[in-house]
Amino acid sequence: MATANVTKTDFYEVLQVTRTATDQELKSSYRKLAMQYHPDRNPDNPAAEEKFKECSEAYQILSDPEKRAAYDRYGHAAFQGGGPGAGGNPFAGGNAQDLGDIFGDLFGEMFNMGGGGRKSSRVQRGRDLRYDMTLEFEDAVFGKEKDITIRRSETCSDCKGSGAAAGKAPVTCTQCGGRGQLRMQQGFFSVARTCPQCQGAGTIVQDPCKTCAGQTTVQKEHTITVKVPAGVEQDTRIRYQGEGEAGKYGGPGGDLYVVLNVKPHKFFERDGDDLHCVMPISFPQAALGTELEIETLYGRETIKVPEGTQSGKSFKLRDKGVPHLNERGKGDLIVEVRVRTPSKLSKQQKDLLRQLEETMGVENTPHSSGLFDKMKDMFS
């Protein structure tokens, strides 16, 4: 039976690059195509699996300088029969290590397992810390500096964070040979995982530091000056970078977050950067008008209440509120006046009020037809 001649696609065309492509261009194009046609992303798709194998073979040849040179000169014949580049399994030897690195990257992106670099590290960032600070209302308005003391882990000064005893040094991990990773060959690609013996550090502490017991950090009290800016409010967080727990194995320190709890004021209520308060006034003051003196956070101010002022009327004192945080200007102070009705009256006061009622007429009395008509109109 005659054997059909199968013409293989040019490797450069397979990887969608030119014959002058750099190593980085080859790698980038291959990674893109490999992720596109990977069997795990294309289950039950034989065509995609075949394309994936074709791309992998093309990259394995072109990423090796010697094999690429042979391919450029002889084409596919270089790897058939007794050609100069022949060597059986195209994935054995050669650039198999680089191919494994690429697949490490691929699996990291596809399954969120992290990159496939040649060496992992157990460099650890320190934990963030929280400190709750209680402030008086005025301190939140005008700002304040206050020293606080926190307990945190700090890099051991005796071993300088190595975890090893004085005069000693960590030794190379025998299980991973100092790489921090163990590689497992699965078919034509390899998968890397963190070495369980050294936890990715590549080294092991045999003689631990007596001060930190090999933990690289110790617990200490630390004092820091917190600068509270003017205008902060409840639950404001102030971040101090690097003032949290110390990192391990060369990692950066965590952050300290100071969370503010502001005590309420006995007279003022805050709404954003505005302040609100209520001032009681008597009926004669509301009817005849008066001047009120009010104690603000910035000193005494006078409010002119015109005659005939109704209960609930508000007056605004500009720029007597809370400073805008990290900006110029302030909010306002809103003063609401409320007419206070006395609960007890003397006989003389009652007589005077009756006389006032008589002088004002009967249009506002409950028995007035005018008032009844107004109420009737309201509810009709």
If we measure between CA atoms, which residue out of 211, 205, 210, 215 comes closest to residue 248? 215
How many of the other CB atoms lie within 10 Å of CB of 221? Answer: 9
Question: Given this model, what pLDDT does residue 186 score?
Answer: 61
243 and 126 Cβ atoms separated by less than 8 Å? no
* DSSP tag of 254: -
Considering the domain 11-111, what is its CATH architecture? Orthogonal Bundle (1.10)
* CATH code for residues 269-341: 2.60.260.20
Choose among 28, 32, 30: nearest CA to 15.
30
Whole-model pTM: value is: 0.57
- The SS3 of residue 234 is coil
Alpha carbons 340 and 281: distance in angstroms, whole number: 6
Digits of tens for pLDDT over the chain (380 positions)? Answer: 333 334 578 899 999 999 888 888 888 899 889 888 887 788 788 888 888 888 888 898 898 888 888 888 878 777 765 455 554 444 334 444 444 445 444 544 444 344 444 444 567 889 999 999 999 999 999 999 999 999 999 999 998 888 889 888 888 888 888 888 887 766 556 677 888 888 777 888 889 999 999 888 999 999 999 999 999 999 999 999 999 999 887 788 999 999 999 999 999 999 999 999 999 999 999 999 999 999 999 999 999 999 999 999 999 999 999 999 989 999 999 999 999 988 888 999 888 888 888 887 655 554 445 545 654 555 44
Evaluate whether 11-111 and 269-341 have a shared fold: no
In degrees rounded to 5, what are phi and psi of residue 216?
Answer: 75, -15
Q: What is the pLDDT of residue 2?
A: 35
Binding-site residue set for Zn(2+): 156, 159, 173, 176, 195, 198, 209, 212
Closest C-alpha among 201, 157, 158 to residue 176: 201
**pLDDT value at position 53?**
87
Q: How large is the angle between the packed helices 46-62 and 96-111, nearest 10 degrees?
A: 140
pLDDT in tens, 200-217: 778 888 899 999 998 889
Bind-site residues: 156, 159, 173, 176, 195, 198, 209, 212
Residue 275's H or E segment, with its range, is: strand 274-281
- Domain ranges across the chain: 11-111, 269-341, 353-380
Amino acid (1-letter code) at residue 224: I
pLDDT at 380: 47
